[in-house]
Amino acid sequence: MNDITRREFIKWSAMAAVATMAGCSAPQQAAPAPQATARPTVEAAKEWHKSVCRFCGTGCGVQLGIADGKLVALRGDPDHPTTKGLVCAKALFLPKIVYSPDRLTKPQIRKAGKLVDATWDEAMNLVADKFADAIKTAGPDSVAYYGSGQALAEESYLANRLFKGGIGTNNLDGNPRLCMASAVGGYTTTYGKDEPMGSYDDIDHARTFFLIGSNTAEAHPVLFDRILDRKSKNANVQIILVDPRKTPVRRVTDIYLDPIPGFDLDIFHAMAQVIIAEKLHAPDFITKHLVFRKVVDNQNVDVTFDEYVKFLEAFTPEKAAEKCGVPATKIRQAARMFAQGPTMSLWCMGLNQRTVGVWANNLIHNLHLITGQFGKPGATPFSLTGQPNACGGVRDTGALAHLLPYGRVIANADHRAQMEKLWGAPAGKIKAQDGLNTIDMFKALGEDKLKAMIIITTNPGQSLPNANKYRDAMGKERANKPFIVSVDAYPTRTTELADVVLPAAMWSEKEGVFGMSERRYQLMPKLISAPGEARSDFDILLDFAARLEERGVVAKGYIAGKFKTTADVWEEMKEASRNTAYDFTGMSRERMKKERGIRWPVLDETHPGTNRRFVKGDDPLLDKGPFADANLKPGDIKIYTGANNKAIVWLRPSKDPAEPADKDFPFVLSTGRVLEHWHTATMTMKAPELRRAQPEAYCEVHPLDAEKLGIKTGDMVKLTSRRGDVTVRARVVDTPRPGMVFVPMHWYEDNALINKVTIDAYDPASRQPEFKVCAVKVEKGKA
């Protein structure tokens, strides 16, 4: 694999997955780089244990091979009910990644501008002193927590409990704000509560797949394999793709719509217009299950179906084509294919990372609702997730600035009172105002309004948009510079800015729950020891809470002495879910140790888990508890989380992106992923095989644009926005549409850190930034 091409790597990845499924070792590669240990092999394992993958939200079941207390191999788990033994290439190298020689093993404190080793007591006393001083002198809202969809569910829940109910600040947010907040907003504004109602099983029943802003082939390759398997076995299965970039998904697509980046809302409205005009909608479903709504002067106003039809007259395919750049004939074809069904929509960052992300999500739900493509096998709107625990660990536990656990929200007084009672916090301790969302949190940091922040299992020094601004906020020396704590397993572009760095235990070195995209909660066992003095985020939070209690800024006994293990916290989490739409009180720790994940809601130990929500006979909440309805027949639908048990079809206006191309910055930049790397590449770059397969950042330029600019493949190109610039190597390909350039998000070198260029404008509803669209100029750069 020394001179591997990307095409060969994809082929190798597929071979590895097939070999793993068969219980064989993956194909062997060339000798590893000198700084890394030799790649572990399946044959070296003396015992195998079930677990879950560390990477994306697919939640692939894995088996981990252990020998002499060391992790020596990983293979797909053939008994896993949803991923059935498949894993991607990234997962195969996790055993090597865990043992990377640059793992953080000792606490560090910044002294005289340099990070130096310290004892845990020295580091934790400093952290507790800084936070306590800030809280006493400037109030609880002077401190903040920034978390991650990669922390364990129990860790995020504990942090939420500590900050909101203990310290008394709602300044707790996390990186799912950057990737999934608009999906949350779409589900909650449409159905009343978050999370998909369907499951991966719907893939095996769908006739039409509607993929929007999702490079499923590279970002979720195991799910893409399942889609391809469905298509290969059924000649009637068709795929519609909406994406301004010809990702590998394009190769298997039946209808491809490539809108001008940021101008796809008109497509979805136009599809709805065609569906109704051609009487492809579902009148009975509409009458029984839907209401129609628009916003007038910041007030929600219900309207009639006829008013919705009138609204859509402004979005005929011909009118939409003028704005989005997609031919009207293709829009009509897509609408008809969607309405045939059963249709499963799948989307990801291309829809979410937008200043109209919630509206875009709403419009996908609209299509499902007006056609009745809902609550039936293969008919469901399904948001894909980028992190292993953004769903179960952050969205569900309420670990965002506006949320409380399991469907509760800060703005609701009853919800606050419920959590205060469960947590043993004084009445009124949880503030009635939302905390700072991610972007506003880091803005406040730069304005010195925040005095102390703890960052756990994430890398905002690289992952935030408009990165130069927020790197300065974290690291620029000044008189009142805030105090930054970074908890991580590896050195990152964030740890380099921190005042204290705490070494964290990683995946397989601690026990806890990951919640994947299809509502399946899976227990990850602790199988190996963390290196050096590294501790789990959970143990660090327990220690932190105890020291804050000692300093009088958190009530004595609020956390200290109450919890010792993640299993202890899990019991309280189950209780918090009781009688909510998320109820998982039937997931005992012992049951989770035995089973390969369980999909909520699940009310008792005998229930197998829920395949489809809101469907009588599938969803146990329609049989028992506050949402039960004895009048329903098996297969009947009741959207019990919606207002008056109905979903909302929203009349959303067309709206342009925050920063379209103009004469000064004539190109649109979009960012995304590649198969071989993940997020900020903190982990995947530790495997030499993955680094060699995709060694450097690049910029895709369309041939028509490259000819005008005099750029050839291999040339260095400089991309400049109103915020910053990068210089990377060009790839002249017809993958992006003309006028668009694409750079992957993973590289951390100064010349390639693409988030120096991206924009921090965000959706006013979800507060999720618009990573996918910003204006840049492109020119030849210097090597």
Q: Which residue has the tokens 């070296």?
A: 44
Residue 645 sits at the vertex; the CA angle it makes with 641 and 646, to the nearest 5 degrees, is 100
Given 124, 179, 506, 774, which residue is catalytic? 179
Query: What φ, ψ does residue 335 adopt, rounded to 5°?
Result: -60, -45
Verify whether residue 60 is a known catalytic residue: no
Given 59, 147, 213, 386, which residue is catalytic? 386
Given 63, 150, 333, 387, which residue is catalytic? 387
Given 60, 88, 124, 180, which residue is catalytic? 180
Verify whether residue 510 is a known catalytic residue: no
Q: How far apart are CA 380 and CA 581, in angstroms?
A: 18
In 682-749, the DSSP E strands lie at: 698-701, 716-720, 725-732, 740-744
Burial of 342 from C-beta contacts in 10 A (0-12 / 13-18 / 19+): middle
Burial of 373 from C-beta contacts in 10 A (0-12 / 13-18 / 19+): buried
Q: How far apart are CA 21 and CA 216, in angstroms?
A: 20
Residues in the chain, overall count: 783
Query: If DSSP codes are grouped into helix, strand and coil, which group holds residue 781?
Result: coil
Given 56, 337, 344, 349, which residue is catalytic? 349
Given 90, 130, 616, 686, which residue is catalytic? 90
Q: Residue 277 corresponds to which amino acid?
A: A
Q: Which of 209, 188, 612, 614 is nearest to 362 (CA)?
A: 188
Q: According to DSSP H, which parts of 74-220 are helical? A: 89-92, 94-98, 120-138, 153-160, 176-179, 181-191, 216-219
Residues ≥6 apart with Cβ < 8 Å to 567: 511, 589
Verify whether residue 740 is a known catalytic residue: no
For 471-488, letters b (16+ CB in 10 Å) and e give bebbbeeeeeebbbbbbb
Establish whether the linkage from the previous residue to 248 is cis, with ω within 30° of 0: no
Give 161's DSSP letter: I
Q: How far apart are CA 15 and CA 2, in angstroms?
A: 17
For 675-711, letters b (16+ CB in 10 Å) and e give bbbbbbbbbbbbbbbbbbbbeebbbbbbeebbeebeb
In 530-617, the DSSP E strands lie at: 598-599
205, 370, 376, 631 from 634: Cα distances, Å? 19, 22, 12, 10
Verify whether residue 124 is a known catalytic residue: no
Verify whether residue 386 is a known catalytic residue: yes
Q: Which of 778, 766, 740 is nearest to 262 (CA)?
A: 740
Give 354's DSSP letter: S
Q: Which residue has the tokens 């829009």?
A: 331
Verify whether residue 349 is a known catalytic residue: yes
Q: Which of 408, 388, 365 is nearest to 196 (CA)?
A: 365
85: left (phi over 0), alpha (psi -120 to 50) or beta: left
First to last CA, the chain: 26
Could you tell me whether strands 299-303 and 290-296 are parallel, antiparallel, or unpaired per DSSP bridges?
antiparallel
Query: Residue 522: which H helix or E strand, with range?
Result: strand 520-524
Query: If DSSP codes are grouped into helix, strand and coil, which group holds residue 172?
Result: strand
CA 498 to chain centre: 25
Query: Residue 231: which H helix or E strand, with range?
Result: helix 221-233
What the block records as the tokens of 271 is 């599809």
Burial of 57 from C-beta contacts in 10 A (0-12 / 13-18 / 19+): buried
Residue 633 sits at the vertex; the CA angle it makes with 631 and 639, to the nearest 5 degrees, is 75
Query: Residue 573: which H helix or E strand, with range?
Result: helix 566-577
Active site residues: 90, 179-180, 349, 386-387
